[in-house]
Chain A
Amino acid sequence: MVYQALDVKIQSRKHILFIPDLLGFKKQNDLFNYLRKKPGYKEYLEKYDQQELHRGDLEVALNHLMVNEMEKMMHFMDGSYREFFRLMLKRYELHDLQLILRALVTGEDTQNVSKYFIHSKKYTKIDFARLVKVNSLAEFTKILKGTIYYDTLKTMEEEDIYNREWHFEMKVSATYSNLLYKKVESFEEDDIEVAKRILGLNIDRLNIEWIYRAKKYYNISNEEILVYSQPKGYKLSYSRLKKLIYTTDVEQFKKLANKYMNDNLFEAGDNLLEIKLDKLFYVSLNEKQNKNGIGRVMGYMYKLELILEDITAVAEGLRYNISPEEIKKYLVI
């Protein structure tokens, strides 16, 4: 693939990634007003009234930005590259499907959730208008026949949605991790290596977080944890993954995880594990070897995702009057 056009595009969008002095805002409204004027953000925030912007709204708006950025980049791609990013967009589709599912079991009006939808309208093949009207999991499943969600859905029962809240997300994520990996195979030679490495790094971070959470909070067997883990990690091969999962207690797990990831993951405390992992991921994205060819595009996308998470974290911190020093702990970048 020819990267000149894409590189220029990314170069011109880089300002989105850069927010000077994110911690300098005194009040939540200052941050909103700043974003409302910042090019790249303002299209998504203008429509909200500043007095009534909720956390959900900001997240939805930022996710729209993310999806839209990805769509924009896709204009400059073709063939398997385009399909690859199409698959990446499915993550947002999954998010929306989960919203509907959750509304379905809690008995909320499923039509109400549509305002939180973030999927790419341009690339989705799912009829969301029909989906929000369903009354049961069976109907939901029927509409999704022929999509990658169907295999998982057809074996699910309504109780699984709250008893195994992770089931749907994890199974589908694993399915499309596999698909992404397969799609990468048809990239150009130089890109295959970079793309696989970045995908693998991302999977590592997700897996460690998942195993830790599963071990600590969920009452599920090691066999299940293994099944739900995502395949094709970079540092965590299958055998390492298995060793990590079959550790006898959390302490041992931490030790082994630190060893495999070559870092002290738990230095800042257990509740900051996710941030720590994100930080590691961010650092790897900026390594020279991951910035070639397709790596630049993937890096831009993942970095954008991380900065948007930071913005949400700051907004949330300001809402509850948390000091900048404290907020800083929750920031990735």
Chain B
Amino acid sequence: MAIEKMVMLNLVASQLDEQRVLEHLILSGKVHEPAEMYDNNFAIHEYDAMLHQESLHIEFSKDKILSQLSKMSNQLERIMDGMNITPEINYEAIKDNYDLTQAQSDLTDMVSQYQGCIDQYRDIEKNQKDLIRLQTIARSIKKEHIDLEQLRNLSNFGFQIGVLSYDHKVELKRNYENISAIVTKIGELPDEQEDIYLVLYPTKLKVETKQLLKSVNWQRIRIPQEFLGDAKYIDGALQKRIDMLDTQMSGISNIIFNNLATTQDTCNKIYTRLELERHVSELRSKVQHGSNVFVIRGWIPEKDKAYMEEVIAGITDKYVITYKEPQEDLPPTLLKNNWLFKPFELIVKMYGLPSYNEVDPTPFLALSICLTFGIMFGDIGQGFVYFLAGLFINKKNEIAGGILTRLGACSMVFGVVYGSLFGLEQHQLHWLPSLIGGSPLDVENIMPILIASVVVGVVLLSISYFLGIANSIKNRDIVHGIFGKHGVVSYIFYLSLIFTLVALTGVIPVPYYVFAAILVISLLIIVFQEAIINLIQGNRPIISGEHLIESGFEGLETLLAALSNAISFIRIGAFALNHAGLFMAFLIMSEMTSSIILKLLVLFLGNVLILSLEGLIVFIQCLRLQYYEMFNKYFGGDGYRYDPIILGHNSELV
């Protein structure tokens, strides 16, 4: 329930093993590449000297490898495209020394076996598509008696059949008196705004006509000689050819798809290898090289230390691993929460990821959001609906489902407190359990609920202040922890404000001016913090005007914030009442009719409305309380994600 501890792995090994070491580091899926690979040259020189070896000259050219890889992946893509295969990363497949040479030879085999067929299939498919289009056009020709064969035999006239859009037809029509051809509509294309036209022109004016047609985006339809005839003949001849191509295609597709499963496996293997090579060469160009050793750095979770050593030891015995605790550079953040809190990580991430040395707010957020949601939306029945919906969604979206089930469960718990089942209360259903007795809207219950909600707010805010102060201490930022906007002093200020109000009501036997005095003192401390800090540090307590104005405003802001914080949590109680009130409206409506069916219908509708609308609003209010009232007290959210190199994840590399 916290943030996973990270260490910086520092691995030195011989360049002879570089390829394999990097491969396994990537395959382990644990290494997060640091922003800066460079550490210092000292280690390299030291280990170079220790190895006492002739300096190695290992040829490595990233560009060369990448171009080979991209050539291979183009080939692979073309095959997979032709066979409708989506490649998958499969670590197991390349485990037993399936290297690039092997991948290359497998790929060559596959290309020679399938590429020809695939190309042929594509060609036939395209041919068939063209014929089908031709057939649609032939079928759309309304004037069926036109015999194209006869037209072709005219000696002084030429003709074209083609498609023309409406706009262009209008253009031709407006200038028809100047046009050198007969343009006549012979059919309409279904689903398109274009019609089929026959253009007949004297052979002498062939060039002019063709040019003119070009200018109006004329789409000429060429009907091959063998299909020429009247409409019926064309249709028949085309159909015959299309059927023939169909048979040809199914013959070829048998060859292509014969061993689909095996091909898929091979493709996966090659694909995985290619991806791995790509990442390795990427990484290889970044690691530091000495004359015969290389050094790689990377963040790994502390618990995986032993595993990483095992991995490396499996490859070579010439290596040195050192670990460095995080110092200046901040490690990436990996949240670690149990199943109960896990879904709520999403809500935290929507605001920002906690940085490595911050307290993970997830558990506190999970508990407090459940509590506030429960109070605002307490109903056994409606909570149960949410719970079921959560279970249902769980299959599709685990996080959303998880949040919904937990909120639903809390709603049910508070349903018992309020005694509410689908909005109906003890007054309607006498057997319902109700801890507060009756309804939240009973006169004697309203004030206690509102006060309780403020108390909840005070508790939650206190915890927020504590967490914020704890964070400051963790970061060794004592000044901020004490005098900061959300530090100790401002917490004291907030508390004394609350207690002044409480004392004014006379609930506690302490005169209010005690708290008011603390209030004023803490406000003064905030305003004059500059001087006080100087005093503590042993300097002269100089107050500069600039700082005074700044901290003056800070004091004012603290005052306003404390007020609004105190009041803000009343919404919890208000929504609890509102929840009951909204349903009461529907209850009254249902009482206006005597028909039992209508009654049930109205109550049903009321529940639907509450479940959809009010549920949403309450959830938003919960988020609001978290993000605005609580997070800003203790949560920075400046962390960055632990994102180890995993094949197929970093798509921008590919």
Q: Mark A22-47, 1 if CB is under 8 A from B, else 0.
A: 00000000000000000000000000
Q: Mark B164-202, 1 if CB is under 8 A from A, else 0.
A: 010110011011001110000000000000000000000
Q: Is the CB of A227 within 8 A of B211?
A: no
Q: Is the CB of A167 within 8 A of B214?
A: yes
Stretch from A115-123, A201-209, A218-226, A272-280 forming part of the interface with B:
A218-226
* A246, B211: Cα distance in complex, Å: 17
Q: Which residue of B lies closest to A178 (CB)?
A: B167
**Which chain A positions have C-beta within 8 A of B180?**
223
Q: Which residue of B lies closest to A231 (CB)?
A: B171
Q: Chain B nearest CB: distance from A138 CB in Å?
A: 11
| Residue A164 interfacial (CB < 8 Å) | yes
| Residue B218 interfacial (CB < 8 Å) | yes
| B199-235, CB < 8 A from A | 208, 211-212, 214-219
| Residue A160 interfacial (CB < 8 Å) | yes
Q: Which residue of A lies closest to B165 (CB)?
A: A151
Q: Chain A nearest CB: distance from B204 CB in Å?
A: 14
Knowing A151-B165, A221-B212, the reply to whether A171 touches B175 (Cβ < 8 A) is: no
| Residue A266 interfacial (CB < 8 Å) | no
Q: Which residue of B lies closest to A225 (CB)?
A: B215
Q: Chain A nearest CB: distance from B386 CB in Å?
A: 39
**Residue count of chain B within 8 Å CB distance of chain A:** 19
| Residue A255 interfacial (CB < 8 Å) | no
Q: Is the CB of A160 within 8 A of B212?
A: no
The contact of A228 among B165, B175, B215, B218, by CB within 8 Å, is B215
The contact of B215 among A227, A242, A246, by CB within 8 Å, is A227
Q: Is the CB of B178 within 8 A of A222?
A: yes
The contact of A160 among B178, B208, B214, by CB within 8 Å, is B214
Q: Chain B nearest CB: distance from A176 CB in Å?
A: 13
**Which chain B positions have C-beta within 8 A of A151?**
165, 217
| Residue A247 interfacial (CB < 8 Å) | no
Q: Is the CB of A227 within 8 A of B219?
A: no
Q: Is the CB of B217 within 8 A of A155?
A: yes
Q: Is the CB of A167 within 8 A of B215?
A: yes
Q: Is the CB of A220 within 8 A of B178?
A: no
Give the tally of cross-chain contacts (CB within 8 A): 42
**Which chain A positions have C-beta within 8 A of B212?**
221, 223-224, 227
Q: Is the interface of A mostly helix, strand, loop or mixed?
A: helix
| Residue A68 interfacial (CB < 8 Å) | no
Q: Which residue of A lies closest to B179 (CB)?
A: A223
* A224, B506: Cα distance in complex, Å: 96
**Which chain A positions have C-beta within 8 A of B211?**
220-221, 224
| A79-120, CB < 8 A from B | none
* A225, B165: Cα distance in complex, Å: 19
| Residue A154 interfacial (CB < 8 Å) | yes
Q: Is the CB of B214 within 8 A of A164?
A: yes
* A152, B180: Cα distance in complex, Å: 23
| Residue A238 interfacial (CB < 8 Å) | yes
Q: Which residue of A lies closest to B162 (CB)?
A: A155
Q: Is the CB of A226 within 8 A of B175?
A: yes
Knowing A164-B214, A220-B211, the reply to whether A154 touches B219 (Cβ < 8 A) is: yes
**Which chain A positions have C-beta within 8 A of B216?**
227
Q: Is the CB of B218 within 8 A of A155?
A: yes
* A227, B215: Cα distance in complex, Å: 7
Q: Is the CB of B214 within 8 A of A238?
A: no
Residue of B165, B212, B214 with most chain A CB atoms under a 10 A cut-off: B214
**Which chain A positions have C-beta within 8 A of B167?**
178
Q: Mark A145-185, 1 if CB is under 8 A from B, else 0.
A: 00000011011000010001001000100000010000000
Q: Is the interface of B mostly helix, strand, loop or mixed?
A: helix
**Which chain B positions have C-beta within 8 A of A227?**
168, 171-172, 175, 212, 215-216
Q: Chain A nearest CB: distance from B221 CB in Å?
A: 11
Q: Which residue of A lies closest to B193 (CB)?
A: A151
The contact of A246 among B165, B172, B178, B214, by CB within 8 Å, is B178
Q: Chain B nearest CB: distance from A204 CB in Å?
A: 19
The contact of B217 among A152, A220, A223, by CB within 8 Å, is A152
Q: Which residue of A lies closest to B219 (CB)?
A: A155
* A228, B168: Cα distance in complex, Å: 11
Q: Which residue of B lies closest to A164 (CB)?
A: B214
Q: Which residue of A lies closest to B168 (CB)?
A: A227
* A220, B219: Cα distance in complex, Å: 20
* A242, B175: Cα distance in complex, Å: 9
Q: Chain B nearest CB: distance from A167 CB in Å?
A: 7
| A276-333, CB < 8 A from B | none
| A213-266, CB < 8 A from B | 220-224, 226-228, 238, 242, 246
Q: Is the CB of B217 within 8 A of A221?
A: no
* A151, B167: Cα distance in complex, Å: 12
**Which chain A positions have C-beta within 8 A of B171?**
226-227
Q: Chain B nearest CB: distance from A142 CB in Å?
A: 12
**Which chain A positions have C-beta within 8 A of B179?**
223
Q: Chain A nearest CB: distance from B162 CB in Å?
A: 9
* A32, B172: Cα distance in complex, Å: 50
Q: Chain A nearest CB: distance from B156 CB in Å?
A: 21
**Which chain B positions have C-beta within 8 A of A221?**
208, 211-212
Knowing A223-B179, A224-B212, the reply to whether A238 touches B174 (Cβ < 8 A) is: yes
**Which chain B positions have C-beta within 8 A of A167?**
214-215
Q: Chain A nearest CB: distance from B585 CB in Å?
A: 38
Q: Chain B nearest CB: distance from A152 CB in Å?
A: 6
Q: Is the CB of A224 within 8 A of B178?
A: no
Q: Chain A nearest CB: distance from B70 CB in Å?
A: 13
Q: Chain A nearest CB: distance from B311 CB in Å?
A: 39
**Which chain A positions have C-beta within 8 A of B175?**
223, 226-227, 242
* A151, B219: Cα distance in complex, Å: 10
Q: Which residue of B lies closest to A151 (CB)?
A: B217
* A167, B214: Cα distance in complex, Å: 9
* A226, B219: Cα distance in complex, Å: 19
* A226, B172: Cα distance in complex, Å: 10
Q: Chain A nearest CB: distance from B169 CB in Å?
A: 12
**Which chain A positions have C-beta within 8 A of B215?**
167, 220, 223-224, 227-228
* A212, B245: Cα distance in complex, Å: 53
Q: Chain B nearest CB: distance from A218 CB in Å?
A: 11
The contact of A171 among B178, B217, B219, by CB within 8 Å, is B217
* A228, B212: Cα distance in complex, Å: 10
Q: Chain A nearest CB: distance from B129 CB in Å?
A: 13
Q: Mark B64-107, 1 if CB is under 8 A from A, else 0.
A: 00000000000000000000000000000000000000000000
Q: Is the CB of B165 within 8 A of A223?
A: no
**Which chain A positions have C-beta within 8 A of B178?**
222-223, 246
Q: Which residue of B lies closest to A175 (CB)?
A: B167
* A178, B170: Cα distance in complex, Å: 14
* A178, B168: Cα distance in complex, Å: 13
Q: Which residue of A lies closest to B194 (CB)?
A: A151
Q: Chain A nearest CB: distance from B88 CB in Å?
A: 25
Q: Chain A nearest CB: distance from B527 CB in Å?
A: 40
* A107, B353: Cα distance in complex, Å: 50
Q: Chain B nearest CB: distance from A272 CB in Å?
A: 29
* A160, B165: Cα distance in complex, Å: 20
| B498-533, CB < 8 A from A | none
Q: Which residue of B lies closest to A166 (CB)?
A: B215
* A242, B208: Cα distance in complex, Å: 18
Q: Mark B359-377, 1 if CB is under 8 A from A, else 0.
A: 0000000000000000000
A sample of 16 inter-chain contacts (CB < 8 A) reads: A151-B217, A164-B214, A167-B214, A171-B217, A178-B167, A220-B215, A221-B208, A223-B179, A224-B211, A226-B171, A227-B168, A227-B172, A228-B215, A238-B174, A242-B175, A246-B178
The 7 closest A-B pairs by CB, nearest first: A224-B215, A227-B215, A155-B217, A155-B219, A223-B212, A223-B178, A227-B171
Q: Which residues of B contact A (CB under 8 A)?
A: 165, 167-168, 171-172, 174-175, 178-180, 208, 211-212, 214-219
Q: Which residues of A contact B (CB under 8 A)?
A: 151-152, 154-155, 160, 164, 167, 171, 178, 220-224, 226-228, 238, 242, 246
Besides the contacts A167-B215, A220-B211, A223-B180, what 8 more A-B pairs have beta carbons closer than 8 Å?
A: A155-B219, A167-B214, A223-B215, A224-B215, A226-B175, A227-B168, A227-B171, A227-B212
